[in-house]
Amino acid sequence: MRQVVECVANFSEGQRVDVIDQIVNAIDDVWGVTVLGSESDVDHNRTVVSFAGKPDGIVEAAFEGIRRASELINLDVHRGQHPRLGATDVVPFIPIEGVTMADCVKLARQLGQRVGEELQIPVYLYEQAATRTDRQNLADVRRGEYEVLKQTITTDPDRQPDFGPTQLGTAGATIIGARYALIAFNVYLTTDNIDVAKKIAQAIRHSSGGLRYVKALGLLVDGRAQVSMNLTNYKETPIHRVVEMIRIEAQRYGVGIESSELIGLIPQDALLDAAAWYLQMDNYQPDKVLEHRLQRLMS
Contact 91, 38 (CB under 8 A): no
CA distances to 4, 54, 104, 281 from 98, rounded to whole Å, are 7, 10, 11, 24
82 is catalytic: yes
- Determine, following the binding rule CB under 8 A, whether residue 212 of this chain makes contact with a second copy: no
The candidate with the shortest Cα–Cα distance to 61, out of 41, 87, 37, 33, is 33
Any contact of residue 290 with a second copy (CB under 8 A)? yes
What is the rounded distance in angstroms from the CA atom of residue 76 to the CA atom of residue 96?
36
DSSP state of 207: G
At closest approach, how far in Å is the CB of 107 from a second copy?
17
Pick out residues in 179-198 that bind a second copy (CB under 8 A): 181, 187
Q: What angle do CA 55, 59, 61 make, to 5 degrees?
A: 115
Q: Which of 134, 158, 222, 291 binds a second copy (CB under 8 A)?
A: 291
Of 75-83, 114-122, 171-179, 284-292, the segment contacting a second copy by CB under 8 A is 284-292
- How far lies 160's CA from each of 1, 66, 75, 125, 131, in Å? 39, 20, 19, 11, 12
- Judged by CB, which is closer to a second copy: 119, or 181? 181
* Binding letters toward a second copy, positions 32-71, x by CB under 8 A: --x-x---------------xx------------------
Given the rule CB under 8 A, which residues bind a second copy? 4, 6, 34, 36, 52-53, 96-97, 181, 187, 239-240, 243, 257-262, 264-268, 271-272, 274-276, 278-284, 288-294, 297-298
Residues with a catalytic annotation lie at 82
